[in-house]
Amino acid sequence: MDFGLVLQTDPPASQVISLMKRAERGGFRYGWTFDSAVLWQEPFVIYSQILANTQKLHVGPMVTNPGTRTWEVTASTFATLNDMYGNRTVCGIGRGDSAMRVAGRKPNTLARLGEAIEVIRDLAEGREAEVDGNPIRIPWIRDGKLPVWMAAYGPKALALAGEKADGFILQLADPYLTEWMVKAVREAAARAGRDPDAITICVAAPAYVGDDLAHARDQCRWFGGMVGNHVADLVSRYGEHSSMVPDALTEYIKSREGYDYSHHGRAGNPSTDFVPDEIVDRFCLLGPVEAHIEKLRALRALGVDQFAVYAMHDAREHVIDTYGEHIIPVLNS
């Protein structure tokens, strides 16, 4: 099982770079960041320094979207990093939540997202693609490689991930929902004539190691609010008790009253008071080392290839070091 570290690009960027170096020393193979231009610093600038200061770490956004940058710019940026540092990037992509909404735009349609996945990958790997009706190719790319992993929750998005993406990003760590969604992605891949087992499965969620569960829950409750934004979109599209979306995913947002993106992804977010302890426990990894290992083994048995640790809390160094010393070696033994 691979492990990743997910950070926000809050200033100073030097701290983000330092934590990624620490993660690589601990056995993490992936370094991810949020990508929302208004809320945080520009991640692609920081990726260059992360790659320069690590040896094997792969980096990428969790997640970018097709709307805040033109597709040829996104592809060229990834390709430049790969040319400089040796094909060590991954393009995590989705419809766009905070990045689009903070700028007053709606998230991208799935049709646009599906087209972008193919165009960005083709361009970044040196092939010709059509952008706004014009065929283009980036001529200087040689031996470029860019896996594109798609974040999804709803049935149509899960199907799109199975049809077009190289990997699937699920931003929650509930085994029941993981099993349901991984199955949906792989069935869609099979229907599209693809090898379902060739799709990398990445589960991303906060992890907090320690015996004080009340404190851990408070530090990670923000995550239920972030997931709730996407769930609210599903409810508006499919209804509260649709057979297409499990009740286990939608029930908890009934008390949701709104969301303030100025606190997005941060411990103590006041917009997440509606998230009950049960959801925090189900969506995150909390408790002593043994509890993390048990849940990770369950996720691995469901086909999860990577667990990416959201470290937006007051114990970032502790969780990185504990995973490196006591958890990653066990899961990889």
Nearest to 175 by CA among 276, 303, 63, 265: 303
Phi, psi dihedrals of residue 76, rounded to the nearest 5°: -65, -35
**Contact partners, residue 226, CB within 8 Å, separation at least 6:** 97, 171, 264, 265, 272
Is pLDDT at 216 greater than 80 in this prediction?
Answer: yes
Say how many Å lie between the first and final Cα of the chain, rounded: 10
Token pair of 283 as six digits: 């969506």
- Of 63-72, 134-143, 218-227, 308-317, the range with the lowest mean pLDDT is 218-227
pLDDT in tens, 244-297: 677 777 777 776 666 666 667 778 777 777 888 999 999 999 999 999 999 999
pTM over 0.75: yes
Is pLDDT at 239 greater than 80 in this prediction?
Answer: no
Cα–Cα distance measured from residue 18 to residue 61, given in angstroms and rounded to the nearest whole number: 17
Per-residue pLDDT, averaged over 125-142, amounts to 97
Longest dimension (CA), the chain: 57
Is pLDDT at 230 greater than 90 in this prediction?
Answer: no
Is pLDDT at 181 greater than 70 in this prediction?
Answer: yes
Cα–Cα distance measured from residue 188 to residue 185, given in angstroms and rounded to the nearest whole number: 5
Q: What is the DSSP letter of 149?
A: E
Is pLDDT at 109 greater than 90 in this prediction?
Answer: yes
Q: What is the mean pLDDT of the chain?
A: 92
Per-residue pLDDT, averaged over 137-157, amounts to 96
pLDDT in tens, 258-271: 666 666 777 877 77
Token pair of 222 as six digits: 């923000």
| pLDDT at position 242 | 64
pLDDT band at 243 (very low <50, low <70, confident <90, very high): low
CA 258 → CA 52, 78, 229, 272, distances in Å? 40, 35, 9, 9
Cα–Cα distance measured from residue 99 to residue 96, given in angstroms and rounded to the nearest whole number: 6
| pLDDT at position 233 | 67
| pLDDT at position 291 | 98
Q: What is the DSSP letter of 89?
A: B
Cα–Cα distance measured from residue 122 to residue 72, given in angstroms and rounded to the nearest whole number: 10
Per-residue pLDDT, averaged over 49-72, amounts to 97
pLDDT in tens, 13-53: 999 999 999 999 999 999 999 999 889 999 999 999 999 99
